């Protein structure tokens, strides 16, 4: 063979972003939105923003792992475009590649064209949930996750099972574990050690400010956070009070819906958002603080989530406007700190949780808050932009990819030689712990601040 046709079907001279005529695919052609239905499909204008430059590739965790175009942000947007034109169905490869996205939003940070991949993904996932029948096993597993994690009571029960189980688990179980389907094994191995007392402890509904009052902060206590990382909530309350805030933690608060929202379970997320908005409206707070990156990120988006609901749009906007990550709240007080910091001599490595760094663009605040502790030397992590593999429920749904990313992150953390790892998301802590168990203490940044204010050694640091 010596000669070949060399160009596409119609060698026009379009140079940038020329449109290829869509092939006729009657079998998959839907309405105006191709393979998507008309309920908030990915918007054409948002898809058009992508110029295919590829700047997102190196920061995408799945592209870092596999180097395959379909598992990159650019590739996924390309798939969305194809689906939008009706050239490919949602079922099959499309769903596979969208499912593999961690939703870490590193690509949003990297994109020079301002492509809002977060909005594209949040528009796409519900389409899949609505239209793509999942296998029985997959469906049951997903249902199990969403029947467990957003419910504190159920989590507590599970944590007790887990706590006992972790103590009693015989060595012989390891063999059994090795044979479990990888997703179940992944879920099992993520269960952190938890003290029964902590799992059942409650944050007081109201904690008064110490000294002159700055204002009234409502605290989202979270689901996983409150059960598995209760000491983080306790530390948060102490720091806020020490810095002059009244802390209100409404007892009736329930899950913010972040896990479901990020997995495309829109109706569920909408209901949870409304409930939470109502709860905090009653609490009459100036600021709504959270110490969970994932929750903060979705609560800040309530405005968009409820934009189409006239009864709720305004209330959601007002709520979202009050939401702050705990590091933002503390950072604002640094100019006029109330509580003296005691030194903590330690080399600290800070891991940017994706939902804090990429989704909320909060990177300097937690660093400033940490640097304000005398004695702390902050070191930066190589490949800092890369997700640790936790990504909400990703490490349960895509355990192999999550495992590769977790090991990679662990290796990078190890390489820094730091004394302690801090990160502002329970998911990251659970995930990283799995690959660095016992190697170094892992804390939420607020726990270091709390220890510094109280003049005690931070937990786990002896």
The residue (of 53 and 177) whose beta carbon lies closer to another protein is 53
With a CB cutoff of 8 Å and minimum separation 6, the contacts of 275 are 254
97 is an interface residue for another protein by CB under 8 A: yes
Enter the tokens of residue 197.
């007392």
15 is an interface residue for another protein by CB under 8 A: yes
43 is an interface residue for another protein by CB under 8 A: no
Task: Report the candidate in 307, 284, 293, 453 with the shortest Cα–Cα distance to residue 357.
Answer: 293
Our CA angle for 213, 217, 223, nearest 5°, is 150
Alpha helices (runs of H) in 384-444, residue ranges in sequence order: 394-397, 399-416, 426-436
With a CB cutoff of 8 Å and minimum separation 6, the contacts of 301 are 122, 261, 320
**Binding letters toward another protein, positions 65-94, x by CB under 8 A:** -xxxxx----x--xx--x----xx---xxx
Q: How far apart are CA 85 and CA 31, in angstroms?
A: 9
For the beta carbon of residue 413, count every other beta carbon within 10 angstroms: 24
Q: How far is the CB of 382 from another protein (least distance, A)?
A: 8
Q: How far apart are CA 259 and CA 270, in angstroms?
A: 12
Residue carrying the six token digits 């006029």? 336
Our CA angle for 20, 25, 28, nearest 5°, is 120
Phi-psi region at 389: left, alpha or beta (left = phi > 0; alpha = psi -120 to 50) = left
20 is an interface residue for another protein by CB under 8 A: yes
**Binding letters toward another protein, positions 45-64, x by CB under 8 A:** ---xx-xxxxxxxx----x-
Single out the segment in contact with another protein by CB under 8 A; choices: 107-115, 123-131, 347-355, 406-414: 107-115
Q: How far apart are CA 148 and CA 154, in angstroms?
A: 6
Q: How far is the CB of 198 from another protein (least distance, A)?
A: 41
Q: How far is the CB of 390 from another protein (least distance, A)?
A: 23
**Residue of the chain from 14, 164, 173, 455 that contacts another protein (CB under 8 A):** 14
378 is an interface residue for another protein by CB under 8 A: no
The residue (of 12 and 286) whose beta carbon lies closer to another protein is 12
With a CB cutoff of 8 Å and minimum separation 6, the contacts of 10 are 21
Q: How far is the CB of 54 from another protein (least distance, A)?
A: 4
Q: Report whether 345 contacts 420 (CB < 8 A).
A: no
32 is an interface residue for another protein by CB under 8 A: no
**Beta-bridge partner residues of 376:** 346
The residue (of 28 and 184) whose beta carbon lies closer to another protein is 28
24 is an interface residue for another protein by CB under 8 A: no
Between residue 402 and residue 421, which ones bind another protein under the rule CB under 8 A?
none
27 is an interface residue for another protein by CB under 8 A: no
Between residue 109 and residue 128, which ones bind another protein under the rule CB under 8 A?
110-114
The residue (of 37 and 49) whose beta carbon lies closer to another protein is 49
First to last CA, the chain: 72
Q: How far is the CB of 58 from another protein (least distance, A)?
A: 5
364 is an interface residue for another protein by CB under 8 A: no
The footprint of another protein (CB under 8 A) covers: 1-8, 11-20, 48-49, 51-58, 63, 66-70, 75, 78-79, 82, 87-88, 92-94, 97, 110-114, 382
């Amino acid at each position: 063979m010596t000669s070949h046709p060399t160009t596409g079907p119609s060698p026009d001279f379009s140079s940038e972003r020329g449109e290829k005529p869509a092939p006729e695919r009657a079998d998959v052609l839907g309405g105006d939105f191709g393979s998507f239905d008309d309920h908030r499909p990915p918007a054409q204008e948002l898809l058009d923003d992508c110029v295919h430059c590829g700047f997102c590739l190196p920061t995408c965790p799945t592209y870092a792992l596999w180097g395959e175009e379909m598992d990159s942000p650019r590739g996924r947007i390309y798939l969305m475009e194809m689906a939008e034109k009706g050239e490919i169905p949602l079922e099959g490869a499309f769903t596979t590649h969208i499912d593999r996205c961690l939703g870490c939003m590193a690509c949003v940070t990297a994109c020079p064209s301002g492509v809002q991949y977060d909005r594209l993904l949040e528009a796409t996932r519900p389409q899949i949930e609505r239209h793509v029948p999942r296998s029985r096993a997959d469906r049951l597993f997903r249902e199990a996750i969403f029947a467990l994690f957003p419910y504190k009571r159920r989590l507590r029960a599970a944590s007790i099972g887990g706590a006992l189980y972790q103590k009693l688990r015989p060595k012989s179980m390891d063999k059994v574990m090795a044979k479990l389907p990888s997703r179940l094994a992944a879920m099992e191995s993520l269960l952190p050690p938890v003290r029964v007392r902590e799992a059942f402890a409650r944050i007081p509904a109201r904690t008064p400010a110490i000294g002159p009052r700055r204002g009234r902060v409502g605290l989202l206590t979270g689901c996983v956070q409150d059960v598995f990382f209760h000491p983080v909530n306790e530390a948060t309350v102490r720091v806020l009070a020490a810095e002059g805030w009244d802390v209100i933690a409404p007892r009736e608060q329930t899950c913010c819906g972040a896990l479901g929202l990020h997995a495309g379970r829109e109706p569920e997320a909408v209901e949870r958002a409304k409930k939470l908005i109502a709860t905090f409206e009653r609490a009459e707070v100036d600021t709504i603080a959270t110490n969970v990156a994932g929750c903060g990120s979705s609560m800040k988006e309530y405005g968009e989530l409820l934009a189409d609901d006239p009864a709720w749009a305004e209330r959601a906007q007002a709520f979202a406007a009050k939401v702050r990550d705990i590091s933002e709240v503390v950072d604002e007080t640094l100019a006029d700190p109330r509580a003296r910091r005691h030194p903590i001599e330690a080399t600290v490595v800070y891991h940017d949780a994706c939902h804090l760094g990429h989704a909320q663009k909060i990177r300097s605040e937690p660093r400033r808050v940490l640097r304000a502790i005398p004695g702390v030397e902050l070191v930066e992590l190589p490949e800092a932009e890369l997700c640790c593999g936790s990504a909400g429920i990703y490490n349960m749904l895509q355990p192999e990819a999550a495992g590769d990313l977790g090991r990679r992150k662990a290796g990078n953390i190890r390489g820094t030689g730091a004394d302690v790892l801090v990160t502002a998301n329970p998911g990251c802590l659970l995930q990283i712990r799995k690959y660095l168990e016992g190697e170094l203490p892992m804390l939420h940044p607020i726990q270091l601040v709390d220890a510094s204010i109280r003049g005690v050694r931070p937990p786990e640091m002896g």
